[in-house]
Amino acid sequence: MLSLLPSHRPMGGNSIALRKSHQNHRTLARAEYKIRQMRDGDIPDVSFMCHEAFKDSAGGFLSPASQTVAQWERQFSVAVQTKRSARREFWFLKPEERVMARETLWGVYKGKKTYMDGSGQSRKPKPSILRKLYIFVVQESDTNEIVGCASISMARCESALPPPFPTTKPFRCYASNIVVKPGFRRQGLGKRLVQQCERVARLWGEKSIWLHVDADNDAALALYDTLGYQKVEYFALYGNGRTLLKAKHLPPIKRSTPRDIATVGKMEDNVFIWE
Other CB atoms closer than 10 Å to residue 107's CB: what's the count? 13
3-state secondary structure 247-262: EEECCCCCCCCHHHCC
Neighbours of 149 (CB within 10 A): 27
d(CA 189, CA 18): 8
CA torsion sign, 114 to 119 to 121 to 124? Answer: negative
Q: Answer whether residue 108 shows pLDDT above 90.
A: no
Partner residues linked to 207 by β-bridges: none
* For range 173-189, the mean pLDDT: 92
**Which has the minimum average pLDDT: 17-26, 154-163, 184-193, 239-248?**
17-26
HSE on the CB side for 111, CA within 13 Å?
0
Element housing 180 (H / E): strand 172-180
| pLDDT tens-place string over residues 126-168 | 667 778 899 999 998 888 999 999 999 999 888 888 777 888 8
Residue 27: C-alpha distances to residues 30, 92, 145, 193 (Å) = 10, 53, 19, 26
Range from 6-15, 203-212, 244-253 carrying the lowest mean pLDDT: 6-15
Q: What is the pTM of this model?
A: 0.74
pLDDT top residue among 22 and 48: 48
Q: Residue 136 has what pLDDT?
A: 92
Which one is predicted more confidently, 255 or 266?
A: 255
Could you tell me if 172 and 156 are in contact, meaning their C-beta atoms sit under 8 angstroms apart?
Answer: yes
3-class DSSP state for residue 79? helix
Express as a percent the part of the chain with pLDDT over 70: 63
What percent of the chain clears pLDDT 90, i.e. is strictly above it? 36
